[in-house]
Protein backbone atom coordinates (compact mmCIF):
# COMPACT_ATOMS: atom_id res chain seq x y z
CA UNK A 1 0.00 0.00 0.00
CA UNK A 2 1.47 3.39 -0.92
CA UNK A 3 0.11 4.94 2.29
CA UNK A 4 2.06 2.50 4.44
CA UNK A 5 5.19 2.64 2.32
CA UNK A 6 5.31 6.42 2.42
CA UNK A 7 4.02 6.78 6.01
CA UNK A 8 1.23 9.11 4.88
CA UNK A 9 -0.38 10.80 7.89
CA UNK A 10 -2.53 13.81 8.64
CA UNK A 11 0.31 15.79 10.16
CA UNK A 12 -1.00 19.36 9.93
CA UNK A 13 -3.73 19.92 12.56
CA UNK A 14 -4.62 23.37 11.20
CA UNK A 15 -4.88 22.33 7.58
CA UNK A 16 -6.93 19.22 8.45
CA UNK A 17 -8.99 20.80 11.24
CA UNK A 18 -12.08 20.92 9.03
CA UNK A 19 -12.16 17.12 9.11
CA UNK A 20 -12.44 16.92 12.90
CA UNK A 21 -15.97 16.14 14.07
CA UNK A 22 -17.31 17.04 17.51
CA UNK A 23 -20.61 15.20 17.99
CA UNK A 24 -21.54 17.13 21.15
CA UNK A 25 -20.97 20.44 19.36
CA UNK A 26 -23.08 19.37 16.38
CA UNK A 27 -25.86 18.14 18.70
CA UNK A 28 -25.88 21.53 20.43
CA UNK A 29 -26.15 23.34 17.11
CA UNK A 30 -29.00 21.03 16.12
CA UNK A 31 -30.91 21.84 19.30
CA UNK A 32 -30.40 25.61 19.08
CA UNK A 33 -31.38 25.76 15.37
CA UNK A 34 -30.32 29.39 14.79
CA UNK A 35 -31.29 29.16 11.09
CA UNK A 36 -34.98 29.07 12.08
CA UNK A 37 -34.82 32.76 13.04
CA UNK A 38 -33.00 33.91 9.89
CA UNK A 39 -33.88 32.56 6.41
CA UNK A 40 -30.47 33.84 5.20
CA UNK A 41 -28.54 32.34 8.13
CA UNK A 42 -26.32 30.05 6.04
CA UNK A 43 -24.08 32.01 3.68
CA UNK A 44 -21.11 29.77 2.79
CA UNK A 45 -20.23 26.25 1.70
CA UNK A 46 -16.75 24.76 1.89
CA UNK A 47 -16.28 21.56 -0.09
CA UNK A 48 -13.26 19.29 0.16
CA UNK A 49 -11.31 18.66 -3.02
CA UNK A 50 -11.97 14.91 -3.00
CA UNK A 51 -15.71 15.39 -2.38
CA UNK A 52 -15.85 17.86 -5.28
CA UNK A 53 -13.99 15.44 -7.55
CA UNK A 54 -16.39 12.62 -6.64
CA UNK A 55 -19.42 14.77 -7.44
CA UNK A 56 -18.02 16.01 -10.76
CA UNK A 57 -17.03 12.50 -11.89
CA UNK A 58 -20.47 11.20 -10.91
CA UNK A 59 -22.18 14.02 -12.81
CA UNK A 60 -19.98 13.44 -15.84
CA UNK A 61 -20.73 9.69 -15.84
CA UNK A 62 -24.45 10.42 -16.22
CA UNK A 63 -24.00 11.99 -19.65
CA UNK A 64 -27.25 13.74 -20.64
CA UNK A 65 -29.13 12.15 -17.70
CA UNK A 66 -29.39 13.74 -14.28
CA UNK A 67 -27.69 12.00 -11.36
CA UNK A 68 -28.09 12.37 -7.61
CA UNK A 69 -26.07 11.80 -4.44
CA UNK A 70 -25.65 12.94 -0.84
CA UNK A 71 -22.96 14.97 0.92
CA UNK A 72 -21.56 14.36 4.39
CA UNK A 73 -20.10 16.95 6.71
CA UNK A 74 -20.89 19.33 9.54
CA UNK A 75 -21.98 22.85 10.44
CA UNK A 76 -19.56 25.59 11.52
CA UNK A 77 -21.31 28.89 12.23
CA UNK A 78 -23.01 30.06 9.04
CA UNK A 79 -21.04 27.58 6.90
CA UNK A 80 -21.66 24.06 5.63
CA UNK A 81 -18.46 22.00 5.71
CA UNK A 82 -18.66 19.17 3.15
CA UNK A 83 -16.06 16.49 3.80
CA UNK A 84 -17.28 13.68 1.53
CA UNK A 85 -19.95 12.68 -0.97
CA UNK A 86 -21.48 9.45 -2.22
CA UNK A 87 -23.72 8.57 -5.14
CA UNK A 88 -27.24 7.18 -4.84
CA UNK A 89 -28.74 4.31 -6.85
CA UNK A 90 -31.51 6.36 -8.49
CA UNK A 91 -33.10 6.49 -11.92
CA UNK A 92 -32.45 9.69 -13.83
CA UNK A 93 -33.94 11.32 -16.91
CA UNK A 94 -32.90 14.42 -18.84
CA UNK A 95 -35.03 16.60 -16.55
CA UNK A 96 -35.23 14.92 -13.15
CA UNK A 97 -34.01 12.18 -10.82
CA UNK A 98 -36.40 9.80 -9.09
CA UNK A 99 -35.35 8.54 -5.66
CA UNK A 100 -36.90 5.25 -4.56
CA UNK A 101 -37.26 3.19 -1.39
CA UNK A 102 -34.13 1.34 -2.49
CA UNK A 103 -32.20 4.63 -2.36
CA UNK A 104 -33.51 5.40 1.15
CA UNK A 105 -32.40 1.98 2.35
CA UNK A 106 -29.01 2.46 0.75
CA UNK A 107 -28.53 5.79 2.58
CA UNK A 108 -29.33 4.21 5.95
CA UNK A 109 -26.92 1.32 5.34
CA UNK A 110 -24.15 3.60 4.04
CA UNK A 111 -24.30 6.05 6.96
CA UNK A 112 -24.48 3.15 9.42
CA UNK A 113 -21.36 1.59 7.89
CA UNK A 114 -19.59 4.97 8.11
CA UNK A 115 -20.37 5.27 11.83
CA UNK A 116 -19.21 1.70 12.43
CA UNK A 117 -15.86 2.78 10.98
CA UNK A 118 -15.57 5.91 13.10
CA UNK A 119 -16.89 8.45 10.58
CA UNK A 120 -19.63 10.28 12.43
CA UNK A 121 -20.48 12.99 9.88
CA UNK A 122 -24.16 13.33 9.09
CA UNK A 123 -25.71 13.90 5.68
CA UNK A 124 -25.77 17.69 5.25
CA UNK A 125 -27.15 17.96 1.74
CA UNK A 126 -27.88 16.46 -1.64
CA UNK A 127 -26.36 17.12 -5.05
CA UNK A 128 -27.56 16.49 -8.57
CA UNK A 129 -26.61 17.46 -12.10
CA UNK A 130 -28.06 19.81 -14.71
CA UNK A 131 -26.31 18.63 -17.90
CA UNK A 132 -25.89 21.68 -20.10
CA UNK A 133 -28.43 24.06 -18.57
CA UNK A 134 -26.74 25.72 -15.64
CA UNK A 135 -26.80 25.68 -11.87
CA UNK A 136 -30.18 26.69 -10.44
CA UNK A 137 -33.20 24.99 -8.87
CA UNK A 138 -36.18 23.86 -10.94
CA UNK A 139 -39.68 23.62 -9.53
CA UNK A 140 -39.12 19.95 -8.67
CA UNK A 141 -35.77 20.81 -7.05
CA UNK A 142 -37.37 23.55 -4.95
CA UNK A 143 -40.08 21.17 -3.74
CA UNK A 144 -37.48 18.52 -2.90
CA UNK A 145 -35.27 20.98 -1.00
CA UNK A 146 -38.23 22.42 0.94
CA UNK A 147 -39.21 18.89 1.98
CA UNK A 148 -35.66 18.12 3.13
CA UNK A 149 -35.36 21.38 5.09
CA UNK A 150 -38.66 20.71 6.85
CA UNK A 151 -37.55 17.24 8.00
CA UNK A 152 -33.75 17.00 8.27
CA UNK A 153 -32.56 20.62 8.45
CA UNK A 154 -29.85 21.89 8.20
CA UNK A 155 -29.74 20.63 4.61
CA UNK A 156 -28.18 21.96 1.44
CA UNK A 157 -28.84 21.61 -2.29
CA UNK A 158 -25.90 21.56 -4.71
CA UNK A 159 -26.19 21.57 -8.50
CA UNK A 160 -23.34 20.72 -10.90
CA UNK A 161 -23.33 21.21 -14.66
CA UNK A 162 -20.86 18.63 -16.08
CA UNK A 163 -21.09 19.94 -19.66
CA UNK A 164 -20.29 23.53 -18.74
CA UNK A 165 -17.54 22.26 -16.45
CA UNK A 166 -15.76 20.63 -19.40
CA UNK A 167 -16.45 23.55 -21.72
CA UNK A 168 -15.32 26.30 -19.32
CA UNK A 169 -12.39 24.38 -17.82
CA UNK A 170 -13.57 24.93 -14.23
CA UNK A 171 -16.27 23.35 -12.10
CA UNK A 172 -19.69 24.88 -12.72
CA UNK A 173 -21.37 24.51 -9.33
CA UNK A 174 -24.06 26.22 -7.27
CA UNK A 175 -25.26 25.77 -3.69
CA UNK A 176 -28.77 26.75 -2.59
CA UNK A 177 -31.21 26.96 0.31
CA UNK A 178 -34.96 27.52 0.00
CA UNK A 179 -36.94 30.14 1.89
CA UNK A 180 -39.86 29.27 4.20
CA UNK A 181 -43.15 29.16 2.31
CA UNK A 182 -44.53 32.32 4.00
CA UNK A 183 -41.30 34.33 3.50
CA UNK A 184 -41.09 37.07 0.89
CA UNK A 185 -37.48 37.96 0.07
CA UNK A 186 -36.40 41.46 -0.85
CA UNK A 187 -36.02 42.03 -4.58
CA UNK A 188 -32.26 42.52 -4.29
CA UNK A 189 -31.74 39.17 -2.53
CA UNK A 190 -32.96 37.15 -5.51
CA UNK A 191 -30.72 38.68 -8.17
CA UNK A 192 -27.86 36.29 -8.96
CA UNK A 193 -25.14 36.77 -11.55
CA UNK A 194 -26.24 36.29 -15.14
CA UNK A 195 -26.02 32.80 -16.56
CA UNK A 196 -27.08 31.32 -19.89
CA UNK A 197 -30.35 29.43 -19.67
CA UNK A 198 -31.61 27.32 -22.62
CA UNK A 199 -34.81 28.60 -24.22
CA UNK A 200 -36.82 25.56 -23.14
CA UNK A 201 -35.76 26.07 -19.49
CA UNK A 202 -36.23 29.84 -19.13
CA UNK A 203 -39.83 29.64 -17.93
CA UNK A 204 -39.01 27.09 -15.21
CA UNK A 205 -35.93 29.09 -14.20
CA UNK A 206 -37.82 32.34 -13.72
CA UNK A 207 -40.90 30.86 -12.07
CA UNK A 208 -39.09 29.72 -8.92
CA UNK A 209 -36.08 32.06 -8.65
CA UNK A 210 -37.63 33.94 -5.70
CA UNK A 211 -38.08 30.78 -3.61
CA UNK A 212 -34.39 30.15 -2.89
CA UNK A 213 -31.03 31.88 -2.57
CA UNK A 214 -27.46 30.91 -3.39
CA UNK A 215 -24.54 30.39 -1.02
CA UNK A 216 -20.89 31.24 -1.62
CA UNK A 217 -18.97 28.09 -2.61
CA UNK A 218 -15.27 27.57 -1.82
CA UNK A 219 -13.00 24.54 -1.71
CA UNK A 220 -10.25 23.24 0.55
CA UNK A 221 -7.66 20.47 0.62
CA UNK A 222 -6.38 18.38 3.46
CA UNK A 223 -2.93 16.83 3.40
CA UNK A 224 -4.51 13.47 2.51
CA UNK A 225 -6.53 15.12 -0.26
CA UNK A 226 -3.29 16.50 -1.69
CA UNK A 227 -1.73 13.05 -1.68
CA UNK A 228 -4.75 11.43 -3.37
CA UNK A 229 -4.96 14.13 -6.03
CA UNK A 230 -1.25 13.74 -6.74
CA UNK A 231 -1.75 10.00 -7.26
CA UNK A 232 -4.60 10.65 -9.66
CA UNK A 233 -2.58 13.22 -11.59
CA UNK A 234 0.38 10.83 -11.88
CA UNK A 235 -1.95 8.21 -13.35
CA UNK A 236 -4.10 10.31 -15.66
CA UNK A 237 -1.95 13.29 -16.63
CA UNK A 238 -1.39 12.05 -20.19
CA UNK A 239 -5.11 11.68 -20.95
CA UNK A 240 -5.85 14.97 -19.19
CA UNK A 241 -3.41 16.92 -21.34
CA UNK A 242 -4.24 15.12 -24.58
CA UNK A 243 -8.01 15.58 -24.48
CA UNK A 244 -9.69 18.60 -26.05
CA UNK A 245 -12.95 20.13 -24.78
CA UNK A 246 -13.91 20.86 -28.39
CA UNK A 247 -14.10 17.11 -29.11
CA UNK A 248 -15.09 15.87 -25.64
CA UNK A 249 -17.98 18.33 -25.43
CA UNK A 250 -18.92 18.74 -29.10
CA UNK A 251 -22.55 17.62 -28.54
CA UNK A 252 -23.00 20.33 -25.90
CA UNK A 253 -21.42 22.92 -28.19
CA UNK A 254 -23.87 22.00 -30.96
CA UNK A 255 -26.81 22.33 -28.55
CA UNK A 256 -25.56 25.76 -27.48
CA UNK A 257 -25.45 26.96 -31.10
CA UNK A 258 -28.93 25.59 -31.79
CA UNK A 259 -30.34 27.25 -28.66
CA UNK A 260 -28.72 30.57 -29.58
CA UNK A 261 -30.23 30.46 -33.09
CA UNK A 262 -33.68 29.80 -31.62
CA UNK A 263 -33.31 32.78 -29.28
CA UNK A 264 -32.27 35.02 -32.19
CA UNK A 265 -35.24 33.86 -34.27
CA UNK A 266 -37.64 34.48 -31.39
CA UNK A 267 -36.25 37.98 -30.80
CA UNK A 268 -36.38 38.78 -34.52
CA UNK A 269 -40.03 37.74 -34.78
CA UNK A 270 -40.93 39.88 -31.76
CA UNK A 271 -39.18 42.94 -33.23
CA UNK A 272 -40.81 42.41 -36.64
CA UNK A 273 -44.24 42.11 -35.02
CA UNK A 274 -43.69 45.41 -33.23
CA UNK A 275 -42.52 47.17 -36.41
CA UNK A 276 -45.79 46.16 -38.11
CA UNK A 277 -47.76 47.77 -35.30
CA UNK A 278 -48.61 44.52 -33.56
CA UNK A 279 -47.87 43.55 -29.95
CA UNK A 280 -44.16 43.49 -29.33
CA UNK A 281 -41.57 43.99 -26.61
CA UNK A 282 -41.06 47.38 -25.02
CA UNK A 283 -37.77 49.14 -25.75
CA UNK A 284 -36.24 48.19 -22.42
CA UNK A 285 -37.36 44.56 -22.72
CA UNK A 286 -36.06 44.42 -26.31
CA UNK A 287 -32.68 45.79 -25.27
CA UNK A 288 -32.49 43.30 -22.39
CA UNK A 289 -33.27 40.38 -24.72
CA UNK A 290 -30.66 41.45 -27.26
CA UNK A 291 -28.11 42.03 -24.49
CA UNK A 292 -28.62 38.46 -23.26
CA UNK A 293 -28.22 37.11 -26.79
CA UNK A 294 -24.95 39.02 -27.16
CA UNK A 295 -23.72 37.67 -23.82
CA UNK A 296 -24.63 34.12 -24.80
CA UNK A 297 -22.86 34.43 -28.17
CA UNK A 298 -19.77 35.93 -26.55
CA UNK A 299 -19.71 33.06 -24.05
CA UNK A 300 -19.87 30.45 -26.82
CA UNK A 301 -17.21 32.23 -28.88
CA UNK A 302 -14.93 32.59 -25.85
CA UNK A 303 -15.14 28.90 -24.98
CA UNK A 304 -14.47 27.87 -28.59
CA UNK A 305 -11.48 30.21 -28.79
CA UNK A 306 -10.12 28.84 -25.52
CA UNK A 307 -10.38 25.29 -26.88
CA UNK A 308 -8.65 26.25 -30.13
CA UNK A 309 -5.84 28.08 -28.34
CA UNK A 310 -5.34 25.12 -25.99
CA UNK A 311 -4.98 22.86 -29.04
CA UNK A 312 -2.44 25.22 -30.61
CA UNK A 313 -0.38 25.37 -27.40
CA UNK A 314 -0.34 21.58 -27.10
CA UNK A 315 0.67 21.24 -30.75
CA UNK A 316 3.58 23.66 -30.28
CA UNK A 317 4.72 21.92 -27.11
CA UNK A 318 4.39 18.25 -28.03
CA UNK A 319 4.36 17.82 -31.82
CA UNK A 320 7.70 16.51 -32.94
CA UNK A 321 8.98 15.83 -29.41
CA UNK A 322 9.78 12.21 -30.24
CA UNK A 323 11.02 12.94 -33.77
CA UNK A 324 14.75 12.32 -34.29
CA UNK A 325 16.80 15.47 -34.50
CA UNK A 326 18.34 16.26 -37.87
CA UNK A 327 21.98 17.18 -37.84
CA UNK A 328 23.00 19.97 -40.17
CA UNK A 329 25.29 18.67 -42.92
CA UNK A 330 28.24 20.71 -44.00
CA UNK A 331 28.93 21.48 -47.69
Return the minimum-mean-pLDDT range out of 221-225, 233-237, 254-258, 276-280: 276-280
What's the count of helices (H) and strands (E) in the chain, helices before strands? 11, 9
- Phi/psi for 212 (5° steps) reads -150, 170
The backbone torsions φ and ψ at residue 217, rounded to the nearest 5 degrees and listed phi first, read -105, 130
Q: How confident is the model at residue 185 (pLDDT cuts 50, 70, 90)?
A: confident
Do 205 and 212 meet the contact criterion of CB atoms below 8 Å apart? no
Whether the CB-CB separation of 156 and 56 falls below 8 Å is answered with no
The mean pLDDT of the chain is 80
For the segment 271-287, what is each residue's pLDDT rounded down to a tens digit?
777 777 655 555 555 56
Q: What is the pLDDT of residues 14-42, one digit of tens each?
A: 556 667 788 888 889 989 999 998 999 99
Tell if the pTM clears 0.85, that is, is over it.
Answer: no
Counting every residue written for the chain, the total comes to 331
Q: What is the mean pLDDT of residues 251-276?
A: 80
Cα separation, 288 vs 292, whole angstroms: 6
Could you give the percent of the chain with pLDDT greater than 90? 26
Q: What is the CA radius of gyration of the chain?
A: 24
Q: 79-87 and 156-160: which strand pairing?
A: unpaired
Element (H, E) at 68: strand 68-76
Q: What is the pLDDT of residue 11?
A: 43
Q: What is the predicted pLDDT for the residue at 247?
A: 74
Q: How far apart are CA 166 and CA 43, in angstroms?
A: 27
Question: Among the listed ranges 32-41, 96-105, 150-159, which one has the minimum average pLDDT value?
Answer: 96-105
Amino acid sequence: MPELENAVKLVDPHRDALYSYDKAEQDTIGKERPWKNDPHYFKNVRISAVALLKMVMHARSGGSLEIMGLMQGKIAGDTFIVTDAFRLPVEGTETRVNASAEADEYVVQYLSACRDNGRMENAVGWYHSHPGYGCWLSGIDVATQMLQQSHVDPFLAVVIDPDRTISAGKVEIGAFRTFPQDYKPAASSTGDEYQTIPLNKIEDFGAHASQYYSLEVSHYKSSLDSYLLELLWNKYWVSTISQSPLFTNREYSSKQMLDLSQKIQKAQKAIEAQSRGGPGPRATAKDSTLDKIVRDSNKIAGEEMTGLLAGEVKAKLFNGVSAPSVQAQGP
